[in-house]
C-alpha cells in the first residue's frame, strides 16, 4: 500500500515533536498536523493582553470548549461547560503547543515513581500501579533532553537525588536574584537541601538559539529569544531543517480511520477553510495533550474498535492525572530591609530557581511512609494588569476606588516583593478523574467535546499540606511577612497526564510498554497520556524523554522501509 | 432617598440596564471576569478584536457623543488624576475603552452592559440632584457611586470599568492606553522586552 508519509503525528507539542525530530533525522518522511497556527520568536512579545487576557493562543470557548464535572459538597457530580464557567482548559493551540508557554521547571522523575505500588502499597480508592518500565530505561532519554532542550542548572547532592549518567547539566545555572541566597541560608539553618531548579532555558547561546535575555516574563509567555526549550524551538525547527518533516498548521484532526483488523489506515482533518482532508501513513502518533488525546480516540470508532480506538476494555480516558499540591506566599516589605538589600531585591530579570526535594518520599509518624513531592520557589508572576485588578477589592470584598485605590496600588507595586512557592505532589489516579465524550455540547465542527470529571483523592491534600507546612518554615525563617498557603483539590489544567495508561495487560491498560496501542499495531501515543501515575514534578521533561524513547521503538518497527519522497 | 430610589428602580433606564446586566451575567465573559481576579496567570478574557482599532500615541480626546462624557466622568472619579500620578484622562482610559467596545468582534453583552450604565446613572443623578452626573461635584459623585455599588449590577459595572482602567494603565502603549509608559513609570513597573508592535499585537496574531 502506498502512503502519503511514513509517519503522521497529530499534535506538535512536547509529545509529538521528539518523534518528528528523531524520525526525520533517521530519514523517514514525517507529517505533523497541528490544530493551531504557527507562531515564531518574532510573533512573541511581553504583551499581557496577548498572553493572558485575550484568547490569542487558544480557541474562543464559544467555538471549542470542554465540559467539567465537579463534585458538590453532597457528592453529586455537576457538569458545567467551560463557556459558562470561564475555566479554560486549553493550554496553547499552536505549533509547539503549550511548551511555548511553559515556565520550564525541569525535574526528572525518580526511580521510586516507577514503582509506587510496590514501594508504598495500595491506597483505598486509588488505582495505583507500577510502571511497566524502570527509571533506568528512561534515564538515557532524560540525558538526551538535557542536551537538546538545553537545560541550565547545577547538581547539588542530596539524599533524594536520582541517579544520572552524566555528572552535571550541559549549561550553567541562569543568573539569580539575591533572594536565592536568602533561601539557601534559611534552608541551611533548617537542615534542608536547597537545590538550584533546573530550567529548560539556555544560559548560553547554543544550537542556533539565543540565550535568555532576562526579560522578566517567562511562564505563560512565548519566548522571544529562543532560549526556552519549547518543542517548536528546540525540536521542530531542527526537524524541518532535515527537509523530511512537514508541519501543517490549522489542521484539526477529528477522526482516525481503522480497518477490521484494528489497524489505523488514515486520519481525517479540517483544514483552515474547514474542508475535510484525509491523510494516510504507515505509523500514526497521537499527542494532543491528555484530555484531547482521549477525546480523539473515543471519537474514532471502527469495525474492530466499536467503543472508540483502543477502547475495547473501556480504559481510554480513565485515570486522568493532574498535579496535586498547592501554593503559598510571603511578603518582603522594603521597610524591614537595608537600602542595599532593597536595591538587590528590586532587580528584575534574574530568577529565584530554588527547589526542595527533601520530602520526595516522606517518613512521618502521622502520615507514615508515603510518597511526597517537590517544592519550588518563585517570584509572584509580574503580570501587571492581573496584579492591579486584584487590588480593587478590600478585605471585606468591597470595591475600592479613587485615591484610596491609587495609594493601595502604589504600595503594592513599590513597597514589597512577593516570594511564592508551588508544591507538586502526585495526583492519585482514581475512578473519579476521567475523560468521556459529552453528548450535548459540540465544537464548531459538530464533534462532541471532551467531558472531564476532575475528582481528587483526599490523600493528595494530606501530602500537599505536609509539604506546604515545610515550605512555610522556609519563608518564616527568611523573615517574610503575611505568610499564607492554600492546598486544594482543584486540578491545575496546565499540568495534565494519563488517560491512556501503558502496561503489559491489555485488559487494564490502553498502550503496551512501548506506548503502542495494544490492539492497533501502528498507533502510538506519545504525550503524557501514557503515565499510570504522575510523579511529583511538572510533566514536560518526562513527556519529552518518553517520546524520544518511543521514537526509537517506532524506528525499530519501521525498519529500513523508508518512504521514497 | 428611599422614595426616589423606588421611582428610579421602576424607570425604563433601570429596566434597560438591569436587562443588560442579566444578559451580561449570563454570558461567558462575566464569569471569566470573576475567575480572573483569583489568579495572576489566568487564562484570559474572551475578547477577540479586529484590526480596525488604531493606535494614537499621546493624549486622546474624549468622544463627545453620549454616553462617553458620562463614562469619562465616572472613570476620572474612579481613578483621578493627581499632580504626582496619572489618572483616567492621562492614560486615555475613555478612548481605550471606546476602541475596545467599538470593535464588532467584542462581546456584545459586555458592550451593552457597559454602555447602558450611564442612562441609569444620569437618571439617578437627576432624581437626587436635578443634574446629570457630569455636573455633580466630587462629593455628590462619590455618594452616587457608593449607592450604585450596593446593587449587584452597579458593583459589577464599576468593577468592569476598573478592569479596563487597569488595562489602559498597564498594557502596552500600542493598544492606545498608557501613553509613553506613564502607568509603568508611576508604579515602577518593568514591562519587559520586547514590547508588542503594530505587527505582532494580539489583534494581528488573532488573524493567523
DSSP per position, A482-494: EEEEEE-----TT
Chain B residues with CB under 8 Å of A46 CB are: 191-196
Q: What are phi and psi of B34, to 5 degrees?
A: -75, -40
Count of beta carbons in the 10 Å neighbourhood of residue A200: 26
SS3 A420: strand
- CA quadruple A25, A200, A323, A256: dihedral, nearest 10: -20
* Contact criterion met (CB < 8 Å) for A86 and B31: yes
Q: What is the mean pLDDT of residues A317-335?
A: 97
Q: How far is CA B81 from the centre of its chain?
A: 16
Per residue in B163-188, pLDDT tens? Answer: 999 999 999 999 999 999 999 999 99
d(C-alpha A263, C-alpha A425), whole Å: 37
Measured CA angle at A100 (ends B30, A264), to 5 deg: 95
- Residue B16 φ/ψ region, left for φ over 0, alpha for ψ in the -120 to 50 degree band, beta for the rest: alpha
CA distance A28 to A254: 25
pLDDT of residue B3 exceeding 80: no
Nearest-neighbour CA in chain B from A183: distance (Å)? 23
Q: Is the pLDDT of residue B59 over 90?
A: no
Cβ distance B184 to A384 less than 8 Å, yes or no, reads: yes
pLDDT tens track for A495-517: 999 999 999 999 999 999 999 99
B182 contacts chain A (CB < 8 A): no
Chain A residues with beta carbon closer than 8 angstroms to that of B200: 42-45, 47
pLDDT in tens, A327-372: 999 999 999 999 999 999 999 999 999 999 999 999 999 999 999 9
pLDDT of B134 > 80? The answer is: yes
CB contact under 8 A, B206 and A56: yes
Q: Are A316 and A295 in contact (CB under 8 A)?
A: no
Q: How far is CA B52 from CA B48, B104, B109, B170, B179, in A?
A: 12, 9, 20, 21, 19
What mean pLDDT, rounded, does chain A reach? 97
Scanning the structure block, which residue is given the C-alpha cell 480523539?
A296
| Residue of chain B whose alpha carbon sits nearest to that of A224 | B194
Which residues on A lie below 8 Å from B39 (Cβ)? 386
Contact (CB<8Å) B32/A86: yes
Find cell 486540578 and name the residue. A491
Helix (H, G, I), strand (E, B) or coil at A443: coil
Q: How far apart are CA A167 and CA A150, in angstroms?
A: 15
Sheet of A264-270: strands edge to edge?
A252-258, A264-270, A276-279
Over 60: is that where the pLDDT of A439 sits?
yes
d(CA A504, CA A564): 35
Q: Please, which pLDDT band fits residue A381 given cuts at 50, 70 and 90?
A: very high
What's the number of CA atoms in the CB half-sphere (13 Å) around residue A76? 4
Does B55 score more than 50 pLDDT? no
Whether the pLDDT of residue A561 is over 80: the answer is no
Distance from first CA to last CA of chain B, Å, rounded? 54
Please tell me which residue of chain A has the smallest CA distance to B208.
A37
Which pLDDT score is estimated for A563? Answer: 64
State the pLDDT at residue B64: 84
Q: How many other CB atoms are there within 10 angstroms of residue A181's CB atom? A: 13
- The tens digit of pLDDT for each residue in A58-92 reads 999 999 999 999 999 898 999 999 999 989 999 99
Q: Which of A51, A103, A388 to mutate to test the interface with B (most CBs of B within 10 A)?
A: A388
Show Cβ contacts of residue B173 under 8 Å, excluding neighbours closer than 6 positions.
B55, B57, B179, B180, B181, B195
CA distance A380 to A419: 6
What is the ipTM, given to two decimal places?
A: 0.94
> Tell me, what's the pLDDT at B9?
55
- Distance, in Å, from the CA atom of A116 to the CA atom of A113, rounded to the nearest integer, reads 6
Helices (H) and strands (E) in chain A, counts: 14, 23
Whole-angstrom distance, CA of residue B100 vs CA of residue B78: 19
Per-residue pLDDT at B28 = 57
For residue B31, name the pLDDT band (cuts at 50, 70, 90): very low
Mean pLDDT of A127-153: 98
Torsion, Cα A399 A401 A403 A407, to 10 degrees, reads 50
CB contact under 8 A, B41 and A387: no
In angstroms, the CA A481 to CA A390 distance is 19
A256 CB near a chain B CB, below 8 Å? no
* B159 Cβ under 8 Å from any chain A Cβ: yes
8 Å CB contact of A385 and B170: yes
pLDDT score for B21 = 83
CA contacts within 13 A on the Cβ side of A437: 20
User: Of B121, B132, B119, B69, whose CA–CA distance to B95 is shortest?
Assistant: B69
Per-residue model confidence as pLDDT tens digits over B76-121: 999 999 999 999 999 999 999 999 999 988 888 999 999 999 999 9
Nearest to A402 among B48, B78, B169 (CB): B78
- DSSP per residue, chain B: -HHHHHHHHTSHHHHHHHHHHHHHHHSHHHHHHHHHTT-TT---------TT-----S--PPP-STTHHHHHHHHHHHS--BTTB--GGGGTHHHHHHHHHHSTTS-HHHHHHHHHHHHHHHHHHHHHHSS-GGGS-HHHHHHHHHHHTTSHHHHHHHHHHHHHHHHHHHS-GGGSSSGGGHHHHHTT----SSPP-TTSSHHHHTT-
Name the residue facing A86 among B35, B41, B186 (closest C-beta). Answer: B35
Res. B46: pLDDT tops 80: no
Please choose, from the candidates A499, A503, A501, A526, the residue with its C-alpha nearest in 3D space to the C-alpha of residue A513: A503
Indicate the helix (H) or strand (E) that contains A177: none
Q: How far does the CA of residue B63 sit from the closest CA of chain A (Å)? A: 22
**Predicted pLDDT at B52:** 31
Give the CA angle between residues A310, A311, A314 to the nearest 5°. 150
Q: Is the Cβ of A51 closer than 8 Å to some Cβ of chain B?
A: yes
Q: Which of B80, B169, B208 sits opposite A402 (nearest CB)?
A: B80
Which chain B residue shows the shortest CA-CA distance from A413? B187
How far is it, in rounded angstroms, from Cα A416 to Cα B58? 31
Q: Which residue has the higher pLDDT, B64 or B43?
A: B64
Mutate to test the interface with A, among B25, B27, B28 (most CBs of A within 10 A): B28
User: Is there a contact between A383 and B159 (Cβ–Cβ < 8 Å)?
Assistant: no
Q: Kindly determine whether residue A50 and residue B205, on different chains, have CB atoms separated by under 8 Å.
A: yes
Q: What is the pTM of this model?
A: 0.93
Amino acid at each position: 500500500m502506498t502512503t502519503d508519509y511514513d509517519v503522521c503525528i497529530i499534535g506538535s507539542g512536547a509529545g509529538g515533536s521528539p518523534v518528528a525530530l528523531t524520525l526525520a533525522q533517521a530519514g523517514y518522511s514525517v507529517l505533523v498536523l497541528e490544530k493551531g497556527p504557527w507562531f515564531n520568536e518574532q510573533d512573541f512579545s511581553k504583551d499581557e493582553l496577548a498572553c493572558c487576557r485575550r484568547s490569542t493562543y487558544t480557541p474562543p470557548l464559544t467555538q471549542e470548549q470542554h465540559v467539567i464535572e465537579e463534585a458538590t459538597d453532597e457528592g453529586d457530580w455537576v457538569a458545567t461547560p467551560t463557556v459558562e464557567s470561564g475555566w479554560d482548559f486549553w493550554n496553547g493551540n499552536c505549533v509547539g503547543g503549550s511548551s511555548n508557554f511553559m515556565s520550564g521547571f525541569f525535574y526528572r522523575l525518580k526511580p521510586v515513581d516507577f514503582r509506587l505500588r510496590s514501594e508504598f502499597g495500595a491506597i483505598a480508592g486509588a488505582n495505583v500501579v507500577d510502571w511497566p518500565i524502570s527509571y533506568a530505561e528512561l534515564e538515557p532519554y532524560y540525558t538526551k533532553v538535557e542536551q537538546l532542550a538545553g537545560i541550565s542548572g547545577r547538581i547539588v547532592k542530596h539524599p533524594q537525588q536520582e541517579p544520572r549518567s552524566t555528572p552535571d547539566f550541559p549549561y550553567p545555572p541562569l543568573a539569580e536574584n539575591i533572594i536565592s541566597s536568602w533561601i539557601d541560608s534559611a534552608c541551611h539553618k533548617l537542615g534542608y537541601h536547597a537545590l538550584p531548579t533546573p530550567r529548560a532555558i539556555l544560559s548560553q547561546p547554543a544550537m542556533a538559539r539565543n540565550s535568555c535575555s532576562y526579560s522578566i516574563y517567562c511562564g505563560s509567555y512565548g519566548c522571544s529569544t529562543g532560549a526556552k526549550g519549547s518543542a517548536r524551538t528546540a525540536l521542530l525547527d531542527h526537524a524541518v531543517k532535515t527537509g523530511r518533516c512537514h508541519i501543517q498548521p490549522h489542521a484539526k484532526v477529528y477522526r482516525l480511520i481503522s480497518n477490521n483488523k484494528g489497524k489505523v489506515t488514515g486520519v481525517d482533518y479540517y483544514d483552515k477553510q474547514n474542508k475535510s482532508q484525509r491523510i494516510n501513513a504507515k505509523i500514526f502518533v497521537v499527542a494532543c495533550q491528555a484530555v484531547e488525546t482521549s477525546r480523539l480516540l473515543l471519537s474514532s470508532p471502527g469495525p474492530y474498535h466499536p467503543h472508540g480506538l483502543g477502547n475495547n476494555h473501556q480504559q481510554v480516558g480513565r485515570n486522568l492525572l493532574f498535579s496535586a499540591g498547592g501554593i503559598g506566599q510571603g511578603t518582603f516589605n522594603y521597610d524591614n530591609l537595608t537600602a542595599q538589600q532593597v536595591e538587590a531585591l528590586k532587580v528584575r530579570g534574574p530568577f529565584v530557581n530554588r527547589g526542595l526535594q527533601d520530602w520526595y518520599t516522606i517518613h512521618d509518624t502521622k502520615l507514615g511512609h508515603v510518597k511526597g513531592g517537590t517544592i519550588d520557589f518563585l517570584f509572584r508572576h509580574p503580570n501587571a494588569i492581573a496584579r492591579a485588578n486584584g487590588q480593587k477589592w478590600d478585605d471585606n470584598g468591597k470595591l475600592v476606588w479613587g485615591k484610596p485605590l491609587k495609594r493601595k496600588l502604589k504600595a503594592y507595586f513599590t513597597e514589597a516583593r512577593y516570594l511564592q512557592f508551588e508544591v507538586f505532589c502526585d495526583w492519585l489516579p482514581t475512578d473519579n478523574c476521567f475523560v468521556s465524550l459529552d453528548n450535548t455540547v459540540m465544537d464548531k465542527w459538530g464533534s462532541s467535546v471532551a467531558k472531564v470529571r476532575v475528582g481528587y483523592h483526599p490523600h493528595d491534600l494530606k501530602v500537599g499540606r505536609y509539604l506546604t507546612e515545610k515550605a512555610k518554615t522556609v519563608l518564616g525563617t527568611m523573615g517574610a511577612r503575611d505568610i499564607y498557603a492554600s492546598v486544594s483539590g482543584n486540578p491545575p489544567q496546565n499540568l495534565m497526564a494519563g488517560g491512556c495508561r501503558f502496561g503489559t495487560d491489555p485488559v487494564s491498560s490502553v498502550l503496551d510498554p512501548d506506548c503502542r496501542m495494544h490492539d492497533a499495531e501502528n498507533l502510538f501515543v506519545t504525550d503524557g497520556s501514557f503515565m499510570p501515575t504522575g510523579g511529583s514534578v511538572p510533566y514536560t521533561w518526562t513527556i519529552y524523554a518518553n517520546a524520544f524513547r518511543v521514537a526509537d521503538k517506532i524506528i525499530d518497527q519501521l525498519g529500513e522501509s523508508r518512504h521514497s519522497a | 432617598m428611599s422614595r426616589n430610589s423606588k421611582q428610579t428602580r421602576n424607570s425604563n433606564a433601570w429596566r434597560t440596564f438591569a436587562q443588560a446586566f442579566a444578559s451580561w451575567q449570563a454570558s461567558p465573559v462575566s464569569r471569566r471576569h470573576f475567575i480572573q481576579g483569583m489568579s495572576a496567570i489566568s487564562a484570559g478574557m474572551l475578547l477577540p478584536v479586529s484590526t480596525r482599532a488604531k493606535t494614537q500615541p499621546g493624549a486622546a480626546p474624549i468622544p463627545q457623543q453620549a454616553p462617553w462624557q458620562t463614562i469619562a466622568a465616572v472613570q476620572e472619579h474612579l481613578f483621578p488624576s493627581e499632580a504626582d500620578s496619572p489618572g483616567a484622562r492621562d492614560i486615555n482610559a475613555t478612548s481605550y475603552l471606546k476602541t475596545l467596545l467599538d470593535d464588532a468582534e467584542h462581546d456584545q453583552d459586555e458592550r451593552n452592559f457597559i454602555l447602558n450604565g450611564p442612562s441609569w446613572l444620569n437618571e439617578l443623578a437627576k432624581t437626587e440632584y436635578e443634574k446629570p452626573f457630569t455636573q455633580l461635584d466630587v462629593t455628590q459623585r462619590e455618594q452616587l457611586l457608593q449607592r450604585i455599588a450596593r446593587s449587584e449590577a452597579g458593583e459589577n459595572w464599576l468593577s468592569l470599568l476598573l478592569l479596563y482602567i487597569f488595562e489602559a494603565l498597564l498594557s502596552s502603549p500600542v493598544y492606545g492606553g498608557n501613553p509613553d509608559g506613564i502607568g509603568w513609570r508611576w508604579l515602577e513597573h518593568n514591562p519587559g522586552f520586547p514590547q508588542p508592535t503594530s505587527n505582532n499585537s494580539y489583534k494581528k496574531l488573532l488573524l493567523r
